[in-house]
């Protein structure tokens, strides 16, 4: 069912809060992958706050939907989502990256409640998600597995090993997202290692391929629902996103793949996010 | 295959079943009892014998094709979904090609995956270094949370496979290509993960071996006793991690001369692990490590290679002679310990 206006408003409000919290967490952490943390935000928000069947009070519930952040460096953008959802107190994020903190650049499932897999090494997440989706089928359970991949990690061979297996095993309970912000560390993906034509690649690997504006909840919602209704094959949603989305001085800038913020930069970033959401 | 009443375990017809076949059989049998066991391979169902599980339980058997990184990732996902994955491929691919997935996906998450790697060491001698694996013990024992086992023969493989089902966390087990001879007469000798087995009593010198080298060491010990009256203690150190430190310390105290033998590089494997214990304990001891020197081994028949690299009974006998002729420097508490 398409999102109602009220649901859209709730998601938008939540994304605003989380984007602000990502900026603050990056500040507390002394730096982080804020560019990709902000490009993936809306995908995580619609999953955690609308589509995923989960219970933050019972994070290990066996029937829950699973999410694997294959682009594990997005941790600084993911932990605020889990905090907002209620898996743990947002206060804990003030210790992000601090020695002995449960939160580091790449989140650890054994330390962070709500996390379904420890990730960080690129190209690993999709195969893990494939295993989870196969597990649900074996259990004959309806829970779904979601996997958010970075576009930079499309250059990893193991992504394509996983892609091949997912269609071979007809994993229609698996939905992949590509956070197509068009940048990896050393520059534009097409300059560092061309991955286009990306949709054709996934289609040729046997996936149902959709493409959306990765910051448009209505488009994301329609695609997720189409994926749920597509039988016998996994779906990948190529999400066209903007690196650093919401912070005007970061948007589309590869140098904001990773960065630290001082108090003035935080202030400007929060103002920019407020303007995006009409809160200024 | 015969089933004997009154025994917990089956008795295997070792004249007709190789260790890898026994592995496949035991796993298929375990699959009957334990529905949470799943099995995975990367186009080596037949070679590793994990296919025997697939024949019995096709719905719980997955061949991911020649894609070892994905193999380990998928196994992680299945473990996260509550299954106990048994994963089989050749040792060189499990430990090296997919080494990072084993470390980061399986060990870091402390998942209940059991990697049964075949064709380890020089067991696939004619295949050359691309398919030899003389590095896996060194690699695997540095992964936190990992348990590392090198069974001596088919009976021990059966015991180890059974034991690791209820042994929590990741396990790496290395077996051979399947042509190895047996050293045990049956399975009933009290196998326990992490507990070494004394195969031959002796007080002159100790040989600590793992995998197929255990049989070589036992043969050498028997011959040395018969022909020269030399008393060689042989310890089967089937578990490389966690290592049975007590057995090593006891052997040092009793014999002061130790030889390690393994179908693995002398860098980082059983010999190194034993040396670490002796050094940590500050013991005076003569230690000789037998294994593949720091080279890529030549192509050849496995038996010939064992002979060439002196990890067979002849090589062990030679090393015993060499070490018995050497002095051991006494340490401060020498008198207290022997």
Whether B265 and B141 map to the same domain: the answer is no
Model pLDDT, residue B10: 52
CATH number at residue A146: 3.40.50.970
DSSP letter assigned to residue B105: I
Both tokens of residue A57? 């009070």
Both tokens of residue A35? 């560019």
Whether B170 and B236 map to the same domain: the answer is no
Whether B30 and B82 map to the same domain: the answer is yes
Q: How many CB atoms lie within 10 A of CB A248?
A: 14
3-class DSSP state of A261: coil
Mean pLDDT of B207-234: 98
Work out the minimum CA distance from B109 to partner chain A, whole angstroms: 7
The beta-carbon neighbor of B109 closest among A110, A139, A162 is A110
Residue B69's closest chain A neighbor by CA?
A158
CATH number at residue B284: 3.40.50.920
A215: left (phi over 0), alpha (psi -120 to 50) or beta: alpha
Does A108 contact B108 at a Cβ distance shorter than 8 Å?
yes
Whether B109 and B238 map to the same domain: the answer is no
Whether B220 and B153 map to the same domain: the answer is no
Let me know the angle formed at the C-alpha of B162 by A60 and B117, rounded to the nearest 5 degrees: 85
CATH number at residue B135: 3.40.50.970
Using an 8 Å CB-CB cutoff, list chain B residues near A129. 77
Model pLDDT, residue A34: 97
> Does A197 sit behind a cis peptide bond, omega within 30 degrees of 0 on the bond before it?
yes
Is B310 a residue whose pLDDT tops 50? yes
The beta-carbon neighbor of A118 closest among B73, B79, B109 is B109
Chain B residues with a Cβ under 8 Å from any Cβ in chain A? 38, 59-60, 62, 64-65, 67, 69-70, 72-83, 100-101, 104-105, 108-110
pTM of the predicted protein model: 0.95
3-class DSSP state of B102: helix
Q: How many domains does chain B have?
A: 2
B43: left (phi over 0), alpha (psi -120 to 50) or beta: left
3-class DSSP state of A180: strand
Output phi, psi for A68, to 5 deg: -120, 120
Whether B167 and B30 map to the same domain: the answer is yes
Does A135 contact B76 at a Cβ distance shorter than 8 Å?
no
Whether B90 and B230 map to the same domain: the answer is no
Whether B144 and B222 map to the same domain: the answer is no
Residues 6+ apart with CB under 8 A from A48: A54, A67, A81, A82, A84, A85
Mean pLDDT of B325-329: 83
Mean pLDDT of chain B: 93
Q: What is the pLDDT of residues A115-159, one digit of tens each?
A: 999 999 999 999 999 999 999 999 999 999 999 999 999 999 999
Q: Is B202 a domain residue?
A: yes
Is B272 a residue whose pLDDT tops 60? yes
Query: What residue ranges in chain A does DSSP mark as E strands?
Result: 66-69, 145-150, 174-180, 183-184, 187-188, 208-213, 235-240
Q: Is B118 a domain residue?
A: yes
B254-287 in b/e form (b: 16+ CB < 10 A) is bbbbbbbbbbbbbbbbbbbbbbebbeeeebebbb
Residue from A162, A78, A181, A157 nearest A120 by CA: A78
The beta-carbon neighbor of A116 closest among B70, B72, B80 is B80
pLDDT category of residue B7 using cuts at 50, 70 and 90: very low
Q: Is B3 a domain residue?
A: no
Whether B34 and B109 map to the same domain: the answer is yes
Residue from A131, A136, A145 nearest A235 by CA: A145
- For an interface test with A, the pick among B36, B59, B77, B99 (most A C-beta atoms closer than 10 Å) comes out as B77
- Element at B33 (helix H, strand E): helix B19-33
Does A129 contact B77 at a Cβ distance shorter than 8 Å?
yes
Work out the minimum CA distance from A172 to partner chain B, whole angstroms: 16
Using an 8 Å CB-CB cutoff, list chain A residues near B80. 66, 116-117, 128, 131-132, 135
pLDDT category of residue B20 using cuts at 50, 70 and 90: confident
Structural domain that includes position A123: 5-276
Structural domain that includes position B42: 19-174
Residue A165's closest chain B neighbor by CA?
B64
Does B74 contact A134 at a Cβ distance shorter than 8 Å?
yes
Both tokens of residue A134? 């196969």
Q: Is B183 a domain residue?
A: no
Q: How many domains does chain A have?
A: 1
Using an 8 Å CB-CB cutoff, list chain A residues near B35. none
CA distances, B220 to each of A158, B25, B229 (Å)? 47, 31, 12
Whether B276 and B207 map to the same domain: the answer is yes
Does A138 contact B38 at a Cβ distance shorter than 8 Å?
yes
Q: What is the pLDDT of residues A54-87, one digit of tens each?
A: 999 999 999 999 999 999 999 999 999 999 999 9
Does B104 contact A130 at a Cβ distance shorter than 8 Å?
no
Q: What is the pLDDT of residues B156-206, one digit of tens each?
A: 999 999 999 999 999 999 999 988 899 999 999 999 999 999 999 999 999
Let me know the angle formed at the C-alpha of B299 by B298 and B305, rounded to the nearest 5 degrees: 70
Contact between residue A232 and residue A170 where contact means Cβ atoms under 8 Å apart: yes
Beta bridge partners of B200: B234
Q: Is B337 a domain residue?
A: no
């Amino acid at each position: 069912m398409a999102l109602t206006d009220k649901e859209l408003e709730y998601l938008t409000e939540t994304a605003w809060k989380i984007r602000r919290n990502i900026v603050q967490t990056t500040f507390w952490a002394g730096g982080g992958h804020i560019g990709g943390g902000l490009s993936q935000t809306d995908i995580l928000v619609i999953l955690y706050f609308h589509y995923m069947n989960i219970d933050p009070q019972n994070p290990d519930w066996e029937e829950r939907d699973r999410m694997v952040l294959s682009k594990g460096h997005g941790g600084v953008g993911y932990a605020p989502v889990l905090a907002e959802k209620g898996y743990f107190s947002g206060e804990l994020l003030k210790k992000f990256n601090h020695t002995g903190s449960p939160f580091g650049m790449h989140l650890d499932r054994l330390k962070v409640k709500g996390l379904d897999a420890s990730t960080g090494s690129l190209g690993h997440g999709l195969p893990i998600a494939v295993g989870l989706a196969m597990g649900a089928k074996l259990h004959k359970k309806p829970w779904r597995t979601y996997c958010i991949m970075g576009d930079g990690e499309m250059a990893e061979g193991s992504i394509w090993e996983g892609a091949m297996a997912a269609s071979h095993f007809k994993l229609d309970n698996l939905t992949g997202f590509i956070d197509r912000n068009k940048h990896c560390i050393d520059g534009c993906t097409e300059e560092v290692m061309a991955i286009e034509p990306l949709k054709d690649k996934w289609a040729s690997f046997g996936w149902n391929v959709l493409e959306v504006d990765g910051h448009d909840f209505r488009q994301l919602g329609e695609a997720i629902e189409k994926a749920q209704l597509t039988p016998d094959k996994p779906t990948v949603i190529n999400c066209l996103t903007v690196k650093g989305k919401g912070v005007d001085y970061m948007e589309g800038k590869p140098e904001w793949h990773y960065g630290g913020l001082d108090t003035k930069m935080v202030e400007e970033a929060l103002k920019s996010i407020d303007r995006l959401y009409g809160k200024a | 295959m015969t089933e004997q009443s009154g025994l917990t375990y089956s008795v295997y017809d070792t004249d007709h079943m190789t260790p890898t076949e026994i592995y496949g059989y035991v796993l298929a049998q375990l699959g009957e009892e334990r529905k949470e066991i799943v099995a995975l391979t990367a186009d080596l169902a037949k070679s590793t014998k994990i296919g025997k599980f697939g024949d019995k339980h096709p719905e719980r058997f997955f061949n991911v094709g020649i894609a070892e990184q994905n193999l380990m990732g998928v196994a992680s996902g299945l473990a996260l979904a509550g299954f106990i994955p048994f994963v089989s491929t050749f040792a060189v691919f499990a430990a090296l090609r997919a080494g990072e997935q084993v470390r980061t996906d399986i060990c870091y998450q402390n998942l209940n995956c059991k990697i049964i790697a075949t064709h380890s060491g020089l067991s696939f001698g004619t295949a050359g270094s691309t398919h030899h694996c003389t590095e896996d013990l060194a690699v695997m024992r540095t992964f936190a949370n990992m348990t590392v086992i090198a069974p001596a023969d088919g009976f021990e493989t059966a015991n180890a496979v059974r034991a690791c089902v209820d042994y929590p966390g990741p396990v790496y087990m290395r077996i051979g290509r399947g042509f190895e001879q047996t050293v045990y007469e049956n399975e009933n000798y009290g196998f326990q993960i992490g507990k070494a087995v004394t195969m031959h009593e002796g007080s002159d010198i100790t040989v600590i071996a793992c995998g197929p080298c255990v049989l070589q060491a036992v043969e050498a010990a028997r011959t040395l006793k018969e022909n020269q009256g030399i008393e060689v203690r042989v310890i089967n150190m089937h578990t490389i991690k966690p290592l049975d430190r007590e057995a090593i310390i006891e052997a040092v105290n009793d014999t002061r001369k130790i030889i390690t033998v393994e179908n693995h590089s002398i860098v980082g494997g059983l010999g190194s692990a034993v040396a670490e214990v002796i050094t940590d304990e500050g013991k005076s001891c003569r230690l000789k490590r037998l294994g593949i020197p720091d080279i890529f081994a030549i192509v050849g028949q496995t038996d010939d290679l064992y002979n060439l690299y002196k990890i067979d009974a002849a090589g062990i006998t030679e090393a015993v002679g060499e070490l018995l002729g050497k002095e051991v420097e006494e340490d401060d508490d020498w008198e207290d310990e022997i």
